[in-house]
Structure 1
Amino acid sequence: MSAFYHIEQRLLIISAKMFIAYTKTKSKIEQAAASALSYTNWDHAIIGRAYILFSVASGVIGILMSTLMRLELHKPQIQVFNKISKLIYKSGDFGDQAKHLYNVTLTAHGLIMIFYMLMPMLINGFGNLNIPEQLGVRSMAFPKMGATSLALLILSLIHTVLSLLTKGTPTEHGAATGWTLYPPLSNRTYHAGKSVNYIINAICLACVSSLLNAANFISTIISQTQPRKLTRIPLFAWSVLISSVLLVLTLPVLISAITMLYTDRILNTVFYEPKAGGDPALFQHLFWFFGHPEVYILIMPAFGIISEIVSKFTKKPVFGRTGMVFAMGAIGLIGLMVWAHHMYTVGLSYGAQKYFVTATMAVAIPTGIKVFSWLSTLWRGKVSLQPPMLWALGFIALFVTGGITGVQLANASLSNVLHDTYYVVAHFHYMLSIAAVFGVLAAWYYWFHKIFKKGFKASLCTAHLVVTFIGANATFLPQYFLGLAGMPRRCVDYPEGFAGWNKVSSCGAYLSAISVVIFFYTILDSIINNRRSPKAPWN
C-alpha cells in the first residue's frame, strides 16, 4: 500500500507541475492551437508555397526511385533489386521478388511524379501563388478550399506510402501494376493483398483534391474578372483556367473507372472480368479519357509560364496573344477526343483507328502556333539571357523534340510496332519528365523572390541548367534508340545487346541526380547568405 501511496503522491506532484507550466504558457498554447485550427484561413500565397514545397519533397522521392531503377538497368542481369529483396524478405524466390519490387518502384515513381509533383506544383502551387495577384484580387474565390485540398493531397500521399508497406501478393509488398493500374494486373487474381486498395484510395483522394482546386480556380478567374476584361488576363491565368476545365471534365471519369475496379476487388462485381462478361478494355478507355488530357493538363500551365517569361525578357508582348489563347483552348478540346491512340493494340476497328490518327495529328496545329508565337516574340527582341529565360529556351527545345515523336506515335501502324517499347517511354518523358520540369524550374527561378522572399546566385542557376539539360537528354535520348531496337519497357532485365545505350541512359540519370543536389545547394546558398531580392527583380 505504501508503494501505491508514493506513486499516487508523485503523480499528483507531476500533475501540479504540468498545470503550473500550462497556466504560464496558456496564451502561447492557445495561439498555437488557433494557428493550427485556422489553417483554412491561410493566405493564397502561403497555400501556394505549401503546395510548392510539398511538390519538391514528392519530387525528391520520385527522383530517388527513378535513379534506383536506372542503377538496376546500368548492366544486364538483376543485381540491385536482388540485393534489396534479400534484405527485405530473407527467404523465398529472390528473383521473382526482385522483379516485383522493380515494378512496385516503377508504379510508385509514376504516380508520385504525376499526382504529387507536377500537378500540385504547376497548377496548385504557382496558381495559388500568382493568380489572385495577376487578377488584382485579394484572395481566391474560396480561400478555405485550397488548404482543404492540400490536406487531402497529403492524406493521398500517405495512402501511396502505405501501399508500399502493405502486401500486394501473399508473399510480396506493394502494387506492381504500373501507374495505369490496368486489370487484370490490378485485380485480386494478381494482387490479392490490400496494396492496390491503398493505391485506389490515394488516387481518389488526389482526384477530389484536384477537383476542389480546379473549381476554385475557375470560380476565381471567371467570377472575379469582368467579362469584357477576360481577354486581357495574363496567359498564365488562361492556361490554369483551361487546365482546370479539363480537370473538371476528366477526373470524374477516372474516379468512376477506379471505383469500378475497387468494387471488382471488394464486392465481387465483374466490370473488368472477361470470364463473366466484363471487359478490361473498358478500363483502358475510361483511364485514357483522363490520362491523355492529363498530359495537356500538366503542360498547359507551363505554356502560360513560358509565354510570360519570353515576353518579360524580350521586352515585347507575346506575338499573336489572342491566337495563343485559342491555341491553348484548341489543344485542350482536341486532347479530350484522342484518348484511344494509346490503345491501337486492343483491336480497334479500322475506322476508329483512322479517326484517332487524324485527330491526334491535328493537335500539332495549335501546338505549332504556340511554338511559332514564342519564336516570333524572340525575333528581333532585346533578349535578356537571365536564368529564367535560359530555362524557357530549354523548355521550347525539349518540348519540340518530344512533340515531333508524339506525331510519329500518332500513326497507328508505327505505334503498333513501337507500343510498349522504350520509344514510348522516351517520348512520354521528353514531354513530362523534361519539358514540364523545365517549365517548373523556369517558373521556380522566375518567382523565386515570391517563394522565399530572397534572391539567388545566377551562376549556380546556370550550372543547374547545364547539368540538368545534359543529364536529362543523356537519360532519355538513348531510350529512343533502345525502343527502335525493340527493347520492351517495364522489364528489370534485358539481353546483352541493349547494354550500351542502357549504360549511357543510366549515366545520364546519375548526372540528373547531381543536378538535384545543385538545386538544393542554390536554395541553401540563398538562405545562408541571405541574398536579397527587390520586389520586382525582373523589371
Structure 2
Amino acid sequence: MAEALAKHAYTGGAHAPAKKATFELFARPTAKTGLIGWLTTVDHKKIGMLYGGFAILFFLIGGLEALLIRTQLIVPNNHFLEAQTYNELFTMHGTTMIFLAVMPLNAAFFNLLIPLQVGARDVAFPRLNSFSLWVWVVGAILLNVGWLSHFVPAWKFGGAPSIGWFGYAPLTSKTFTPQLSTDLWVFGLQVLGLSSIVASLNFIVTIINMRAPGLTMMRLPVFTWMALVTSFLLILALPAIAIALVEVMFDRNFGTNFFEVSGGGQPILWQHLFWVFGHPEVYILILPPMGYVSEILPTFSRKPLFGYPIIVFSGVAIGFIGFGVWSHHMFTTGLGNVATAAFALATMAIAVPTGVKIFNWIGTLWGGQIQTRVPMMFALGFIWMFMLGGFSGIMHSAAPADAQQQDSYFVIAHFHYVLIGGATFALLAAIHYWFPKFFGRMVPEFWGKLSFWLIFVGFNCTFFPMHFLGLNGMPRRTWTYDSNMGWNEGNLFASCGAYLLGLGIFTYFAVLVWSFFKGKVAGNDPWDGRTMEWSIPSPPPEHNFAAIPTVHARDAWWYEKHHQEEIAKEKAEHIKAEESHGGIHMPDQSWYPIIAAFGLLIGTYNMAQMHHPVMMFDREMLSSHLPLAITGLCILVTACYLWSLEGPGGYHLHIAPDGKVTESRGDHH
C-alpha cells in the first residue's frame, strides 16, 4: 500500500523529502490568510477562487458594456454614445466575455475540481499554477488599460481597442487604428495565451499522472474528461492565433506586409489563422459546461449518467472535428465551391456528437426522480438554449442560407444562444451547485429560482428578436439606424430584455454574496453527490483528503456511501501508511510566480509603447521605454531562475486517529 501511495509524492499524497533551497532572495511566506497568503498561495482551491473572483468581476464589466450597447440601440437615430465609443464597447464586450469571463470561469472550476475529482492533494505543479493565474491578470490589465484614457486624458492610449474582438485585417493596421490600445490588445492576447498554455499543461499532467488508485480513465468524472480535452484543444489551437498576433505586431511596428494590401499582403490570411484558433475556441468555451451539466443531471435525477462512454467519446470527437470547420466563418469570402462544400459537410458532421450528448442527457432524465433544485433548473435551461443555438448553427452550415445571414443580427442571436444560453447557463448552474462545497453555505432556493427566471426570460427577450432583425437586414456592429428601416420594435424589445437579463444577473450574484455571509450552513454532501469532492468536509481542508482514496466504481462517492465499513478500514490503512512516511507533504507558498508576472507586465507594457523603434530610430521613445522593457523582462527571467532554485521545501501535516490535524516543518526521512 505504501508503494501505491508513493507515486503521489510532493502534491499527490505521500511524503517527499524536503530539500533546502540553494538560494532564496525572499523568505518563504508562511501566512496562509490575509493579503500575503492570497498573493503567494499555491493552493489550487485558493487559485481557483481568485480566478473565479476576477472572472466574475470581468463578467459584470462585460455585461455593463453590453447594456451600454443596447441603450444606444434602444431607439433609432440615438446619440447616447459616439460612434468611436460604440466601436470600443463592442470590441471590449466580446474580448472581455470570451477571454476574461467564460474562459477564466472554466479555469476556476478546473482548479477547484480536478484535484478533488482525481483524488489528489493539488495540481502537479502548484507554483506554475500560481504563475498562470498572475500572468492571466497581466493580460487582463493590458487589454483594459486603454479605457483609462477616457478618464485621465494625460494617459494617451487612444481609448480602448476599436477593432472588434476578431481583429480583422486591415482594421488592425496603423492606417486605420494608430492608437496604442491596439498594440496593448495584441500583447494582452499573447500574454493570455501564455497563461492558458501553462495552465493546460499543468492540468493534463495532473489528470493523467495523479489519479487515485483505481481511478481508470473510464472512471473519470465527465467534467474531468472535458477539462482534459479542452486542455489539449488550447495547446493545439493557441499557436495559430499567436502566429497571427506576431504578424500583426510586425506589420504595425516593423514595416512588414503580412496583411498590408499595398505591400502585397493578404488580409484573408488573418481570417484563416484567426478562425483556425477561433472555432476550436468555441468548443474550448462549451466543452467544460457540457461537463458541468453531465455532473449535475445525474445528481438531481437520482440515477447514473446514461451512456457514459458515448458522452466521453462524443466530447473527444467534438474536439477533433472542431479543427476542421473553421472556414464556415468564411463562406462569403469566395473560397470556391469545393472548399465551401467540404466545410459545410464538416459543419453538419460536428452536430452529430453534440446531438448524441443531448440524447444521453435526456436519457439520464428519463425515468429519474427529478428534483427541480436551482442547479438543475439552470442545467435544463442550458440544454434548451444550447439546442436552439445549435439549430441556427445548422442553418449556417448551409452556405446559401449563410450568405444571407452572414454579418447580420441573426449571427449575433446564434452565438449568444450558444455562449450565454449554453456556456453561461451551465456556469451559473455549476457556481450554484459547487458553492456549498467551497464556501460551506447554501443558497436560498427561492432567490436562486427567482434569479433563474429573470435570467431565462430576460435572455430570450433579448436575443430571440435578433433572429428576425437579422433576417430583416440589420447588420451587426451597427452604431445607429434610421426609423424607416423596420427595426424599431425589435431593438426596443431586445434592449428591454437586456435590462431584465441584467437584473437577473445582479440578483444571482447579490444572493451569492448574501449566502456567503448569512446562508444556511451546508453539510459535506448537501446534494447527495456522486463524485469524490463530496466525500470531504465543506469547505475542503488544505490537504483535501485525510487519505488518498481508492476508487472502486465510476460513481465513487455513491459506492463509498454503500460500503462504509470497507472504506473506513482502507482509509485507516492509508493514513497509517502516510504517517509512516512522515505525514502529508504540502508545498510551500512562493513570492516568485507573482514577481515573475509583474516583470512580464512591465516588460510587455513598455514593449507596446515603443512605436516603430527600428524603423524610426525614435531616440526619445527608446530612451524612455526600452530600459523599462528590458528591466521588466529581466525581473521575469530572474524570478523564474530563483523560483527554480527554491527546491521542494514544504511542510507536513499529521492526521491523528481522532481526525485532528497538526503541522510540522523540517526533514522527515
User: Quick check: TM above 0.5?
Assistant: yes
Per-residue CA deviations over 1:44-77 (Å, capped at 9, x if unaligned) read 1111111111111010100000001001100011
Contact 2:149/2:157 (<8 A) preserved = no
Equivalent AA in structure 2 for residue 515 of structure 1: G
Contact 2:224/2:291 (<8 A) preserved = yes
- Kindly tell me: are residues 514 and 34 of structure 1, through their superposed partners in 2, closer, same or farther at Cα, counting changes over 3 Å? closer
For residues 507 and 38 of structure 1, the distance between their equivalents in structure 2, rounded to whole angstroms, comes to 40
Aligned pair count reads 494
SS of residue matched to 1:384? coil
Q: TM-score when scaled to structure 2?
A: 0.72
Per-residue CA deviations over 1:120-142 (Å, capped at 9, x if unaligned) read 102x1011101111101111011
Aligned mate of 1:259, from 246, 253, 276: 246
**Counterpart residue number, 1:210:** 196
Question: Is the counterpart of residue 281 in structure 1 residue 265 in structure 2?
Answer: no
Q: CA deviation at 1:163?
A: 2.5
Question: Is the counterpart of residue 414 in structure 1 residue 401 in structure 2?
Answer: yes
For residues 249 and 219 of structure 1, the distance between their equivalents in structure 2, rounded to whole angstroms, comes to 16
For residues 444 and 201 of structure 1, the distance between their equivalents in structure 2, rounded to whole angstroms, comes to 31
For residues 166 and 413 of structure 1, the distance between their equivalents in structure 2, rounded to whole angstroms, comes to 44
**Counterpart residue number, 1:186:** 172
Aligned mate of 1:136, from 93, 110, 119: 119
**Counterpart residue number, 1:113:** 97
Contact 1:250/1:289 (<8 A) preserved = yes
- For structure 1, which segment, 218-227 or 359-368, has the greater mean C-alpha deviation from structure 2 after superposition? 218-227
Q: CA deviation at 1:172?
A: 5.3
**Counterpart residue number, 1:45:** 45
SS of residue matched to 1:538? coil
Report matched runs for 1:109-258 at 5 Å.
Answer: 109-122=93-106, 124-165=107-148, 173-225=159-211, 229-258=216-245
- Kindly tell me: are residues 32 and 536 of structure 1, through their superposed partners in 2, closer, same or farther at Cα, counting changes over 3 Å? closer
For residues 34 and 223 of structure 2, the distance between their equivalents in structure 1, rounded to whole angstroms, comes to 35
Aligned mate of 1:465, from 439, 443, 452: 452
Q: CA deviation at 1:529?
A: 2.2
Per-residue CA deviations over 1:456-503 (Å, capped at 9, x if unaligned) read 111000000000000001000000000010100001111321010000
Contact 1:455/1:532 (<8 A) preserved = yes
Contact 1:67/1:509 (<8 A) preserved = yes
Equivalent AA in structure 1 for residue 58 of structure 2: S
- Kindly tell me: are residues 34 and 227 of structure 1, through their superposed partners in 2, closer, same or farther at Cα, counting changes over 3 Å? same
For residues 466 and 303 of structure 1, the distance between their equivalents in structure 2, rounded to whole angstroms, comes to 21
Equivalent AA in structure 1 for residue 139 of structure 2: S
Question: Is the counterpart of residue 101 in structure 1 residue 85 in structure 2?
Answer: yes
SS of residue matched to 1:383? coil
For residues 407 and 67 of structure 1, the distance between their equivalents in structure 2, rounded to whole angstroms, comes to 29
Q: Please give the root-mean-square deviation of Cα atoms over the aligned residues, in Å.
A: 2.1
Moved over 4 A (4+): 29-35, 37-41
- For structure 1, which segment, 529-538 or 260-269, has the greater mean C-alpha deviation from structure 2 after superposition? 529-538
Q: CA deviation at 1:33?
A: 11
Q: CA deviation at 1:433?
A: 2.1
Gaps of 5+ in 1: 1-26, 82-97
SS of residue matched to 1:363? helix
- Kindly tell me: are residues 32 and 327 of structure 1, through their superposed partners in 2, closer, same or farther at Cα, counting changes over 3 Å? closer
**Counterpart residue number, 2:66:** 66
**Counterpart residue number, 2:9:** none
Contact 2:443/2:519 (<8 A) preserved = no
For residues 489 and 227 of structure 1, the distance between their equivalents in structure 2, rounded to whole angstroms, comes to 52
Q: TM-score when scaled to structure 1?
A: 0.89
Equivalent AA in structure 2 for residue 149 of structure 1: S
For residues 489 and 421 of structure 2, the distance between their equivalents in structure 1, rounded to whole angstroms, comes to 22
For residues 33 and 462 of structure 2, the distance between their equivalents in structure 1, rounded to whole angstroms, comes to 48
SS of residue matched to 2:74? coil
- Kindly tell me: are residues 129 and 31 of structure 1, through their superposed partners in 2, closer, same or farther at Cα, counting changes over 3 Å? closer
For residues 476 and 414 of structure 2, the distance between their equivalents in structure 1, rounded to whole angstroms, comes to 13
Q: CA deviation at 1:224?
A: 1.6
Equivalent AA in structure 2 for residue 507 of structure 1: C
Q: CA deviation at 1:227?
A: 9.7
Aligned mate of 1:381, from 365, 368, 379: 368
Contact 1:100/1:172 (<8 A) preserved = no
For residues 109 and 160 of structure 2, the distance between their equivalents in structure 1, rounded to whole angstroms, comes to 32
Per-residue CA deviations over 1:287-316 (Å, capped at 9, x if unaligned) read 001111111111000111101101111111
Aligned mate of 2:503, from 514, 517, 529: 514
- For structure 1, which segment, 207-216 or 41-50, has the greater mean C-alpha deviation from structure 2 after superposition? 41-50
Aligned mate of 1:351, from 330, 333, 338: 338
Q: CA deviation at 1:39?
A: 4.4
Gaps of 5+ in 2: 1-26, 529-669
**Counterpart residue number, 1:297:** 284
- Kindly tell me: are residues 33 and 429 of structure 1, through their superposed partners in 2, closer, same or farther at Cα, counting changes over 3 Å? closer
**Counterpart residue number, 1:333:** 320
For residues 411 and 487 of structure 1, the distance between their equivalents in structure 2, rounded to whole angstroms, comes to 20
Equivalent AA in structure 1 for residue 402 of structure 2: S
Equivalent AA in structure 2 for residue 60 of structure 1: L
Contact 1:454/1:531 (<8 A) preserved = yes
- Kindly tell me: are residues 301 and 33 of structure 1, through their superposed partners in 2, closer, same or farther at Cα, counting changes over 3 Å? closer
SS of residue matched to 1:336? helix
Contact 2:32/2:41 (<8 A) preserved = no
Contact 1:69/1:102 (<8 A) preserved = yes
Say which structure, 1 or 2, has more relative contact order (CA 8 Å, 6+ apart): 2
Equivalent AA in structure 2 for residue 135 of structure 1: V
- For structure 1, which segment, 449-458 or 423-432, has the greater mean C-alpha deviation from structure 2 after superposition? 449-458
For residues 86 and 436 of structure 2, the distance between their equivalents in structure 1, rounded to whole angstroms, comes to 40
Q: CA deviation at 1:228?
A: 7.7
For residues 79 and 210 of structure 1, the distance between their equivalents in structure 2, rounded to whole angstroms, comes to 39
Aligned mate of 1:524, from 492, 513, 532: 513
Equivalent AA in structure 2 for residue 532 of structure 1: V
SS of residue matched to 1:343? helix
Contact 1:166/1:194 (<8 A) preserved = no
Equivalent AA in structure 2 for residue 200 of structure 1: V
For residues 220 and 391 of structure 1, the distance between their equivalents in structure 2, rounded to whole angstroms, comes to 29
For residues 67 and 178 of structure 2, the distance between their equivalents in structure 1, rounded to whole angstroms, comes to 29
**Counterpart residue number, 2:479:** 492
Contact 1:40/1:148 (<8 A) preserved = no
The answer to which structure has the higher helix fraction is 1
